[in-house]
Structure 1
Amino acid sequence: MYEVTTPSRRPFPPVNYLFAARALRDFGDSFVAILLPAYLLALGFTPLAVGVLATTSLLGSACLTMTAGLLSARYGYRRLLLGAAWLMIATGIAFASSRHYAVLLVIAFAGTINPSAGNVSVFVPLEHTALAREAGDTDRTRLFARYSLTGALAAALGSLASATPGILAPLGFDRLTAMQAMFVIYGLLGVVGRNLYARIPQRPPALQARKTVALGPSRKIVFKLAALFSLDAFAGGFVVQSLLALWLFQRFHLSLAEAGAFFFGAGLLAALSYPVAARLSRRFGLVNTMVFTHMPSSIALILAAIAPTLALALILLLVRAALSQMDVPTRSSYVMAVVTEAERPAAASFTSVPRSLASAVSPSLAGALFAASAFAWPLLICGTLKIVYDLLLLAQFRHLRPPEENRSTRKGGMQ
């Protein structure tokens, strides 16, 4: 009995609640990101309108994330996660209840609808702070990889779920009504997520009293990282999942079911890449892993933009999916590693908010480009800018190593 309750196992219950909540949220975000353009097109709106709504949603996420960062020291991440879950519930119900574009814009801004399928969200920096508290330096990246893996597997299943309206249509169900029902399900997932967050223990009062919102000695590092991450996010905003689905609908006339199957495969490949990223980072370092997996994925995206056939385009996009997300757990771990523990909530928010703001600009531009031409200009722009980001990140941070890599160097494990 005593062997079962060893000290090494005590932190895992709250981590498991976070993993489960992340899985539910990414499942919902994934099918919503694919349904969103199809739903808006079914309501009679244009590709430009899809891009504008995606931009509005990402701007709202940036504001929510910034607010969470400012309030995290006073209220703690647990209470803010509970509040965000209530907002997810309201978002799903409200989005299913309206067909007016102006109202949908307001809901997109104030709610949690996510066109990027989980990568930009008010939940993310709060969960990162909680995870970092549960992990030591040596297993922090592994924990973040498991966290990302859990979300990616759930997102892959969510991609399959997006095909539900198309499957039900031949059975006599109204396609538009089925889409609205999916948004209700999204809200119900928020109910379950809220119950999981409620199981996370309260932070001790002594920790809550610390002034963690202000950045101190790591301010310069955080600002430089935030600027670089913003460039990456601005590039990624040209190809958020909703807009990539829109391009596949327009360019190759994919059905909703076919798109769901493709994004399931892409999500599965992304999920499998996370534990690989953790292993690579132990051998080559966090920054090297981020850069040298990210650049080939950007090249694959550029080639997909000019692919002459659907089969070749999908193959290249799957190659991109297998590589492009390896920087997600490594990036999150790196930010938590190069700042002090007291600065972690602020660092998580200050690196997330500029990303959200930057990623909010490009979907409208991408929507306008797709409305003007069927050619994949957004994919070309995204891939090129991401390569520039990778080169700048390598130049600026390859010598700033996290504690575990410095210890490995002292032991002779890294050169």
Structure 2
Amino acid sequence: MQSGHPATYLFAARALRDFGDGFVAILLPVYLLTLGFSPLQVGIIATVSLLGSALLTIAVGFLGARYDLRWLLLAGASLMTATGVAVSLVHDYLLLLVIAFAGTINPSAGSVSVFVPLEHAALAREVTDAERTRMFARYSLIGAFAGAAGALAAALPDLTSTIGLGRLTAIKLMFVLYAFLGIAGGHLYARIPMRMVGSEAANAVALGPSRAIVLRLAALFSLDAFAGGFVVQSLLALWLFERFNLSLAQAGVFFFWSGVLSAFSFPVAAWLSRHIGLINTMVFTHIPSSIALLLAAFAPNLPLALALLLIRAALSQMDVPTRSSYVMAVVTEAERAAAASFTSVPRSLAAAASPALAGALFAASYRSWPLVICATLKIAYDLLLLLQFRQLKPPEER
């Protein structure tokens, strides 16, 4: 792809954002515990963060059809910068709750973000139906590699002791780095061509002929996200810290390889979808990953738990590019920003409820229950998705 193609800038911005999310998701619970907060309070911060993302994404759904996507992405990058600065300066729990709600801190280190529907709509308008799944796989691949590198960077605060820098100060500097990544991402978004919004689009209803499809998908995606919220990356890191006394450096290495495996799964998902279809790819890779998570919950030792979690990582994200491509394929072009938003919002809202529940289970010493609940609900979601949507094909499969 030529360097000046708008998709190139979207890929690069996604890489910067996911690099930041990669280390923030691991450092956030460590930072909050270092400040003296409990696991329950960590879970509440994660819930509030995801709830705030949901409300921002609702706003994006209404604005995406009426305003230039570039300006909305620039506003998101500015919010990311402000969030990093604020978290590095604030110690008060109530203020941290406000920052988590209004900012872009992402405890899941995944695609639950106000940026996602905007980037999806911008990317889909730049490619053909035949290219769409491959381009979304590349978009996810780049993000996963960047997230893996970010996870590895989470070990930096433990390494700075050799130069006399305290751990808390080093973690704060990582949040400052997160703010600078927001600035760099903004420069990339600024290079995306502006698309003038006509009067017809400006007065458009967010969802039209595809409303019923989007609402059904949103309901199913919300079940998947509610399940995933029990094991967002921050809470999975917390489980490994408390169950097996994993060090920060070890956690960084584990999440790095977890991200690498996820990254390699994306082009495989694109290839597989061309042979068995998008829905089948989503379902028949997701169910084995949930079984691996369920087994990890009962693993008697750290090596076995990590092995099972790595198997899960190699399979669990194969539905990400296929899901994004499927949503963009079964709605009209004018509805894409709204469809991406309204399928993301229930995901964010549902995912916002479960981290606090997981935190409560941690506090009550039921540390493995979040993993069990997550795996069971995800299997139910996959079966329902297959039953309801196996007959609704995207254009390239008809």
Q: TM-score, normalised by structure 1?
A: 0.94
1:304 is aligned to: 296
Report the counterpart of residue 101 of structure 2 in structure 1.
Answer: 109
**2:271 — aligned with what?**
279
Letter in 1 for 2:234: S
What is aligned with 2:207?
215
Match in the other structure for 1:4? none
1:33: how far off? 0.3
Q: What is the alpha-carbon distance in structure 1 between the residues aligned to residue 117 and residue 276 of structure 2? A: 26
Is 91-100 or 201-210 further displaced after alignment? 201-210
Instruction: Confirm or deny that 1:137 pairs with 2:129.
Output: yes
Deviations 1:123-173 (A, max 9, x none): 000000001101111110000000000000000000000000011124321
Query: What's the secondary structure of 1:195's corresponding residue?
Result: helix
1:16 is displaced (CA, Å) by 0.3
- Which residue of 1 is the match for residue 44 of structure 2? 52
Amino acid in structure 1 at the alignment position of 2:114: V
| Structure 1 contact 250–374 (Cα < 8 Å) conserved | no
Contact map agreement 1:234 1:362 (CA 8 A) in 2: yes
Counterpart contact for 2:201–2:334, Cα < 8 Å: no
Correspondence for 1:73 among 65, 77, 83: 65
- Find the residue that maps to 2:130 and give its secondary structure: coil
Q: What CA distance in whole angstroms lies between the structure 2 residues aligned with 1:258 and 1:92?
A: 24
Quote how far apart the aligned CAs of 1:122 are.
0.1
CA distance in 2, matches of 1:397, 1:90: 41
The equivalent of 2:385 in structure 1 is 393
Aligned residues: 398
The answer (yes or no) to whether the contact 1:73–1:209 under 8 Å persists in 2 is yes
Classify the secondary structure of the residue corresponding to 1:116: coil
Measured against aligned partners, the alpha-carbon deviations of 1:150-201 in whole angstroms (never above 9, x if no partner) come to 0000000000000000111243211001000000000000000000000000
Change (3 A) 1:180 1:10: closer
**How far is 1:342 from its partner?**
1.1
Counterpart in the other structure of 1:20: 12
Task: Check whether the contact 2:230–2:358 (CA below 8 A) recurs between aligned residues.
Answer: yes
Separation of aligned partners in 2, 1:265 and 1:358? 28
User: What CA distance in whole angstroms lies between the structure 2 residues aligned with 1:396 and 1:211?
Assistant: 32
**The residue matched to 1:117 in structure 2 has which SS?**
coil
Once the two structures are superposed, the pairs formed by residues 5-404 of structure 1 within 5 Å of their partners are 13-206=5-198, 209-404=201-396
Give the Cα–Cα distance (whole angstroms) in 1 for the partners of residues 131 and 391 of structure 2.
21
> Gapped runs of 5+ residues in structure 2?
none
Is residue 274–residue 325 contact of structure 1 (8 Å, CA) maintained in 2?
A: yes
Q: Once the 2 structures are TM-superposed, how far is the Cα of residue 219 of structure 1 from its aligned partner?
A: 0.7
Whichever residue aligns with residue 186 of structure 1, its letter is Y
Mapped partners of 1:158, 1:213: distance in 2: 39
Distance 2:199 2:18 in 1: 29
Q: CA deviation at 1:211?
A: 4.2
**Which residue identity does 1:382 align to in structure 2?**
C
Question: TM-score of the superposition, structure 2-length normalised?
Answer: 0.98
Deviations 1:211-268 (A, max 9, x none): 4552111111000000000000000000000000000000000010000000000000
Any gaps of 5 or more consecutive residues in structure 1? 1-8, 407-415
Aligned pair in 2 of structure 1 residues 161, 204: CA closer, same or farther (>3 Å)?
same
Q: In the superposition, relative to structure 1, how do residues 245 and 344 fare at CA in structure 2: closer, same or farther (>3 Å)?
A: same
Secondary structure at 1:134 match in 2: coil
CA contact (8 A) 1:68 1:122 kept: yes
Given that 1:76 and 1:208 are in contact with CA atoms closer than 8 Å, whether structure 2 keeps it comes out as no
Q: Give the Cα separation in 2 of the matches to 1:354 and 1:263.
A: 26
Counterpart residue identity of residue 349, structure 1: S
Greater CA drift, 366-375 or 266-275:
366-375
Whole-angstrom distance in 2 between the partners of 1:160 and 1:190: 19
Deviation at 1:11, TM superposition (A): 9.6
Q: Distance between the aligned counterparts of 2:164 and 2:200, measured in 1?
A: 54
Give the match's secondary structure for 2:5. Answer: helix
- After the TM superposition, which of the residue ranges 383-392 and 62-71 deviates more from structure 2? 62-71
Whole-angstrom CA distance in 1 between matches of 2:168 and 2:45: 18
Residue identity over aligned pairs, in percent, reads 71
